[in-house]
């Protein structure tokens, strides 16, 4: 009998060759996925040559929209919105960036997700990254009144099932938002934490201190997916602390989540390996040197993470 997590993923794996994939039910009641994928072999399918793998960007046209607070729609924070351009109503994903990382550094992976028929809204909390939670709540409350006015013509947001997500400290902020640490006018239907980080260590959580270090203690009944990195908990050198320290990283966020919850880990990649290639500016330069990275290009990580997002959102 296929575990529940497998039912989420396996329908999207028809064209992966030389791939070993297995999922197992954990004793704690959630589903943990361990998937080894050679992404060089994904994409083309059989004789038709068509691509149906969630690890590849679809051909659906999407547009990147930058909305400043001075816009007539008056968003509470600057926004990067990536939206399909074809007429239709599309579900909305709120994505919160990581510590000291501009939202534009995630453009490639967010375009991947959007190409499957999602409107992605990524607020910018810099230069005060510790306020990302309050920024997320303010943007969430703005969506109903302001989002449609900045979207392409004849594109409408489907806000009945809002999904919140985030990377690093933004992942922790997404959990805090779902847990009710800030009031929101929209119902949150699902949660994705991309290598979430709760602080510098167990004794040094950032506010709000949501981790209890007790299994299944999060008061959440919505589906939760946690995507971790294998190298996030390792030091890049003897001077720099790990970007996703043990005890407050994806392992603990998964441990404290209740069913239905799912975990996937990119074992050979680092905390920032899903960012764009060569992001601009000084922050872009240092973003590749502050965390331990995997060997090789970032594209395989983006494909993996993007595919896991899409499979979860489509389920």
Residues labelled as active-site residues: 168, 195, 271
In Å, the largest CA–CA distance within the chain is 56
183's tokens: 């009031």
Of the candidates 55, 97, 29, 98, the residue with the CA atom closest to the CA atom of residue 254: 29
Contact between residue 305 and residue 274 where contact means Cβ atoms under 8 Å apart: yes
Exposed/middle/buried for 229, CB within 10 Å: 0-12, 13-18, 19+? buried
CA distance 17 to 129: 41
Task: Tell me the HSE value of 92 on the side-chain side, using a 13 A CA sphere.
Answer: 23
Contact between residue 19 and residue 37 where contact means Cβ atoms under 8 Å apart: yes
Element (H, E) at 302: helix 299-314
CA distance 285 to 296: 17
| Residue 101 backbone dihedrals phi, psi, to 5 degrees | -120, 115
């Amino acid at each position: 009998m296929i575990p529940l997590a497998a039912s989420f993923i396996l329908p999207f794996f028809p064209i992966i060759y030389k791939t070993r994939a297995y999922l197992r039910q954990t004793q704690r009641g959630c589903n943990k996925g361990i998937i080894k994928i050679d992404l060089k072999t994904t994409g083309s399918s059989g004789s038709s040559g068509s691509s149906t793998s969630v690890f590849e960007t679809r051909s659906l046209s999407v547009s990147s929209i930058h909305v400043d607070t001075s816009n007539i729609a008056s968003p509470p924070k600057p926004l990067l919105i990536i939206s399909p351009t074809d007429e239709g109503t599309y579900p909305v994903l709120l994505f919160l960036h990581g510590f000291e990382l501009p939202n534009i550094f995630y453009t490639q992976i967010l375009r991947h997700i959007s190409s499957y028929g999602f409107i992605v809204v990524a607020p910018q909390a810099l230069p005060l990254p510790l306020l990302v939670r309050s920024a997320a709540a303010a943007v969430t409350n703005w969506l109903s009144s302001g989002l449609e006015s900045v979207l392409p013509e004849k594109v409408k947001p489907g806000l009945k099932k809002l999904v919140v997500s985030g990377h690093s400290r933004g992942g922790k902020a997404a959990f805090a938002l779902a847990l009710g640490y800030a009031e929101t006018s929209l119902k949150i239907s699902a949660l994705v934490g991309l290598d979430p980080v709760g602080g510098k260590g167990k004794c040094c959580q950032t506010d709000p201190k949501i981790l209890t270090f007790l299994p299944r203690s999060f008061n959440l009944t919505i589906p939760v997916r946690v995507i971790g990195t294998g190298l996030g908990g390792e030091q890049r050198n003897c001077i720099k602390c790990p970007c996703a320290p043990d005890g407050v990283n994806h392992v603990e966020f998964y441990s404290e989540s209740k069913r239905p919850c799912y975990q996937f880990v990119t074992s050979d990649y680092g905390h920032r390996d899903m960012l764009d290639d060569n992001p601009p500016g000084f922050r872009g330069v240092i973003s590749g040197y502050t965390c331990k990275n995997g060997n090789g290009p970032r594209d395989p990580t983006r494909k993996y993470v993007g595919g896991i997002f899409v499979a979860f959102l489509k389920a």
